[in-house]
Chains A and B, each alone.
Chain A
Amino acid sequence: MNPKEAIQNLISRMADNAFILGHRNAEWTGIGPTLEEDIAFSSMAQDKIGHAFQLYTLMHKYMGGLSPDDMGFNRTEKEFLCCQFVELYTNDYAYALIRHYLYDHAEAIRYQLLRSSSFRPLADLAKKIAGEIKYHTMHADLWMKKLTLGGNEESKARMQTALNEAWPYALGLFEITEAEESIMQAKVFTGEEDLKSQWMAHILPAVERFGLRIPAYAEPVFGGAKGFHSHWLSPLLEEMTEVFRTDVSTEW
């Protein structure tokens, strides 16, 4: 794969992840567990959608292709390269928080590594949004700590159950695609394996400190980065694009 396609692959995966997770997290706006947390969680969902917009914009500017709105609202399921983890629907706040924790730490490390990307626009974006991402992991860390080390038996149990369910999907965050070699060779990114090992180095001891157990064996849920999705994505996209698709060429 040539460097340009490789970069497009990387950015698409990042943007699609941010977009779909942002959409999922935005589903809590107005119905969050407390007023203050509703507000905080909504801000982070907006941030994620904003990151997706910035990534699609960057890609469009430097590499051509579809406009951000068309990337977000006018592609088929197969064209999306998000991992399956972000697609899952939930109305269980424990699961929402666990996903927030596991995903946002991976994202934070990814952006940290991208600060030295050979693709300058991406490096610049990584530096620009570092502060926003910091709040996301700060928020996730506090909730994890308080519901496990603080909290009560019920909160600990719920977080453990959510972790059990989320873990295989979280491992699916680090899918290797055919673009990987080109990405690493061009020094755009140090690669999914590097990201995964740094993420593990942070998450495993942290989860242990929280008194939670990582599932003994979990098969990573791959496929998303290659366009193979869970049964959740198609209905999500249909719903999300319902109004946009009534007329894709007009201004909304």
Chain B
Amino acid sequence: MYGNTFTDAEMDKQLKQNAEAESPELLAHFEHRIAAGEKIEPSDWMPADYRKQLIRMIEQHAHSELIGALPEGTWITRAPGFRRKMALLAKVQDEIGHAQLLYNAAETLGKPREAMLNDLISGKSKYSNVFNYPAKTWADIAVIGFLVDGAAIVNQLINSKGSYGPYGRALKRICYEESFHLKQGHDNFVTLATGTSAQRLMLQDALNRWWRPLLHFFGPPDRDSVHSGKLTTWKVKLASNDDMRNKFLDQYVPKIWELDLTLPDPELHKNEDTGIWHFSDPDWDEFYKVIKGDGPCNAERLNVRKWVALNSEWVRTALAKPLHNQIIWA
């Protein structure tokens, strides 16, 4: 349908043409279906903007899983002992598996996998900032496995209730696998926290370094975010950044403190009356800097994906056939 010349500009042009043909009746019926809890499937009528926003959202999620395999991949060859080695391998494999599910879900909306991968390596499409940070020690794997995955699960559970059928189905599968990630992540985390003083120190150091990126994970505070009421009506955005961040803190800070580990924020505390966690400003300038490409690992992450594209070209080309009409049902 779109081929490798697919660009956002072309998509916008096509969508604008379609939008002019969008009748208010169709839109009303669409919104009524969503309000009634119905799911939208690939061949259903949908507003051009719904399609565009979902492609962007699912694609970014797919890229995040793909790139997310890299910081943890840092320690694949060095995992200590059989149990950790196999668990880490299975976990990173799952990330690739999740990427696969999500690229397929996004593709149902009309953007081919080739186009998405190209937009990733050109730097055009974004992915979750948190994966632009380095996994400096083995303990980083415990922090990522427990807390980054924990944050992702908060996100995924909420989004799995969204209106788009294929995305919801992919998320359901992902959430099921994530429960393994969380448990083994917590197991690793607790093993280090309750282990030797060297292990504990390594974990505390990792925790100190990942805390800010974790707070950034859910995006800028609501007061700074540009909100689209449409995305809420259409059940594309199902919770505010602040709500999800608060949920995360509520679930995980107690689990960190129960091990007598500290977090690098003296202000961090929960208001028991409101249920809201308060924390110091986690430096949103850094967040924007990293998202624009100036983070510690951005260049490396994209270079690895470029290398994969290059190294695998002969394989993919040798087996590729001329393309005809493609439909995916996901």
Nearest-neighbor residue (CB-CB) of A33 within chain B: B312
Complex formed: what's the CA distance from A150 to B320 in Å? 10
Query: Cβ of A30 and Cβ of B77 under 8 Å apart?
Result: no
Query: Cβ of A27 and Cβ of B77 under 8 Å apart?
Result: yes
Identify which of residues 81-95 in chain B touch chain A, using a CB-to-CB cut-off of 8 Å.
81-86, 89-90, 92-93, 95
- Chain A residues lying within 8 Å of B262, measured Cβ to Cβ, are none
| B99 in contact (CB, < 8 A) | yes
CB B135 to nearest CB in A, in angstroms, measures 12
Identify which of residues 29-46 in chain A touch chain B, using a CB-to-CB cut-off of 8 Å.
29-39, 42-43, 45-46
In the complex with contacts A29-B69, A244-B80, A251-B195, A49-B319 CB distance below 8 A: no
- Chain A residues lying within 8 Å of B69, measured Cβ to Cβ, are 29-30
Query: Cβ of A29 and Cβ of B314 under 8 Å apart?
Result: no
Main secondary structure on A side of the interface with B: helix
Complex formed: what's the CA distance from A50 to B111 in Å? 39
| A220 in contact (CB, < 8 A) | no
Query: Cβ of A246 and Cβ of B93 under 8 Å apart?
Result: no
In the complex with contacts A151-B319, A243-B79, A250-B199 CB distance below 8 A: yes
Complex formed: what's the CA distance from A72 to B79 in Å? 12
Complex formed: what's the CA distance from A147 to B314 in Å? 10
Query: Cβ of B199 and Cβ of A247 under 8 Å apart?
Result: yes
Query: Cβ of A46 and Cβ of B308 under 8 Å apart?
Result: no
CB B96 to nearest CB in A, in angstroms, measures 5
Query: Cβ of A147 and Cβ of B318 under 8 Å apart?
Result: yes
Nearest-neighbor residue (CB-CB) of B202 within chain A: A246
Query: Cβ of B93 and Cβ of A252 under 8 Å apart?
Result: no
Query: Cβ of B80 and Cβ of A243 under 8 Å apart?
Result: yes
| B100 in contact (CB, < 8 A) | yes
| B103 in contact (CB, < 8 A) | yes
| A187 in contact (CB, < 8 A) | no
Nearest-neighbor residue (CB-CB) of A57 within chain B: B82
Query: Cβ of A243 and Cβ of B78 under 8 Å apart?
Result: yes
Query: Cβ of A29 and Cβ of B73 under 8 Å apart?
Result: yes
- Chain B residues lying within 8 Å of A155, measured Cβ to Cβ, are 314-315, 318-319
Query: Cβ of B318 and Cβ of A252 under 8 Å apart?
Result: no
| A222 in contact (CB, < 8 A) | no
Query: Cβ of A34 and Cβ of B80 under 8 Å apart?
Result: no
CB < 8 Å neighbour of B304 from A31, A37, A93, A252: A31
- Chain B residues lying within 8 Å of A219, measured Cβ to Cβ, are none
| B97 in contact (CB, < 8 A) | yes
Query: Cβ of A152 and Cβ of B93 under 8 Å apart?
Result: no
Q: How many residues of A contact B (CB 8 A)?
A: 47
| A168 in contact (CB, < 8 A) | no
Complex formed: what's the CA distance from A154 to B138 in Å? 40
Query: Cβ of A49 and Cβ of B85 under 8 Å apart?
Result: yes
| A158 in contact (CB, < 8 A) | yes
Nearest-neighbor residue (CB-CB) of B320 within chain A: A152
| B325 in contact (CB, < 8 A) | no
CB A68 to nearest CB in B, in angstroms, measures 6
Complex formed: what's the CA distance from A222 to B82 in Å? 28
- Chain B residues lying within 8 Å of A177, measured Cβ to Cβ, are none
In the complex with contacts A250-B199, A252-B81, A29-B316 CB distance below 8 A: no
Complex formed: what's the CA distance from A169 to B191 in Å? 41
Query: Cβ of A29 and Cβ of B93 under 8 Å apart?
Result: yes
Query: Cβ of A150 and Cβ of B318 under 8 Å apart?
Result: yes
CB < 8 Å neighbour of B90 from A46, A93, A147, A241: A46
- Chain B residues lying within 8 Å of A101, measured Cβ to Cβ, are none
Query: Cβ of A30 and Cβ of B90 under 8 Å apart?
Result: no
Chain A interface (Cβ within 8 Å of chain B)?
23, 26-27, 29-39, 42-43, 45-46, 49-50, 52-53, 68-69, 72-73, 91, 93, 146-147, 150-152, 154-155, 158, 239-244, 246-247, 250-252
**Sorted from nearest, which 5 A-B pairs have the closest CB atoms?**
A33-B312, A155-B318, A30-B69, A244-B80, A252-B80
5 A-B interface contacts by CB (under 8 A): A29-B96, A42-B93, A49-B86, A151-B318, A154-B318
